[in-house]
Amino acid sequence: MKVVLFCGGLGMRIRADNQSAPKPMTPIGDRPILWHIMRWYAHHGHKEFILCLGHGASAVKDYFLNYRETASNDFVLTEGGDEIELLSTDISEWKITFVDTGLNTAIGERLRRVRPYLDGDEVFLANYGDGVSDAPMNELIASLPDDHVGSLLAVPPQDSFHVVGFDAAGGMTGVEAVADMDMWINGGFFVLRQSIFDYLEPGDDLVMDACIKAAADGRFTANKYRGFWACMDTLKERAYLEELHAKGSAPWEVWRNPAPKADG
């Protein structure tokens, strides 16, 4: 199943002043978060990717054009370095389509511009280029109702803010952590049908236009998920993901713990 990834964001809240690469190229360990997202989808059997490029498109292209499998795989070196035998591989089975969808293009319009590369697939996947999760992707696909044009992952807020309550007279009634409230935010990880394009006009946003219109028709689903989900919008969030990766306890790195082979 094809996976559309939106990779053109500026990432102003996380980038250094001299950084020109897009936010999806921000590293976690030795690999950019974009690679982590793609590796997660590939683990679930989805290895055809369509990258919607914008700001910093050349950085994404150059990264994969000059990809070094040895950076994240064991290998055997012989002949003084002339021969390298990889003991495992990351992307040899991946198919990646790179599409420049514009610098300041709304996400819905980016999706419209890559529609020709979906090859008419009735169902496809889409996601932002800055979030990771351990959500059961294939279960989300299987749970999409036949008459719905798509679904998204709804997750609790990750912010550490506190919400102050007031009564009708303006008196303070209490304080509650936003993460503890019965509140859900858009976490991406979209499962979409071709009929989503019936709700997308030129220049539209995917969520604030198409998803809202489809939901009003009773044709869009939000799947509540309380498992691991995190985005990388700020330096604090990046440090958190870096820490999980460094400890070897990153929940999204499901490929690091493959299921044991059955005896036979």
What are the pLDDT tens digits along the chain (264 aa)?
999 999 976 654 545 544 567 889 999 998 999 999 999 999 999 999 999 999 889 999 999 999 888 777 788 988 777 788 888 888 889 999 999 999 889 999 999 999 999 988 999 999 999 999 999 999 999 999 999 999 999 998 877 678 888 888 888 888 887 777 778 899 999 999 999 999 999 999 999 999 999 999 999 999 999 999 999 988 889 999 999 999 999 999 998 865 544 444
Please give the biggest Cα pair distance in the chain.
81
2-256 carries CATH number 2.40.30.10: no
**pLDDT at residue 262, as a whole number:** 44
Q: How far apart are CA 78 and CA 82, in angstroms?
A: 7
Strands annotated E in 82-234: 83-86, 95-100, 123-128, 131-133, 150-155, 162-166, 172-177, 185-186, 190-193, 220-224, 229-231
**pLDDT at residue 33, as a whole number:** 95
**pLDDT at residue 9, as a whole number:** 67
Residue-wise over 62-96: b if at least 16 C-beta within 10 A, else e? ebbeeeeeeebeeeeeeeeeeeeeeeeebbeebeb
**pLDDT at residue 10, as a whole number:** 63
Q: How far apart are CA 191 and CA 211, in angstroms?
A: 12
**pLDDT at residue 148, as a whole number:** 97
Q: How far apart are CA 117 and CA 109, in angstroms?
A: 14
Find, among 20, 90, 104, the residue nearest to 58 by Cα: 20
Q: What is the pTM of this model?
A: 0.87
Find, among 198, 250, 260, 264, the residue nearest to 28 by Cα: 250
**pLDDT at residue 31, as a whole number:** 92
**pLDDT at residue 42, as a whole number:** 95
Q: How many CB atoms neighbour CB 218 within 10 A? A: 10
3-state secondary structure (DSSP) of residue 221: strand
Token pair listed for 51: 């990258």
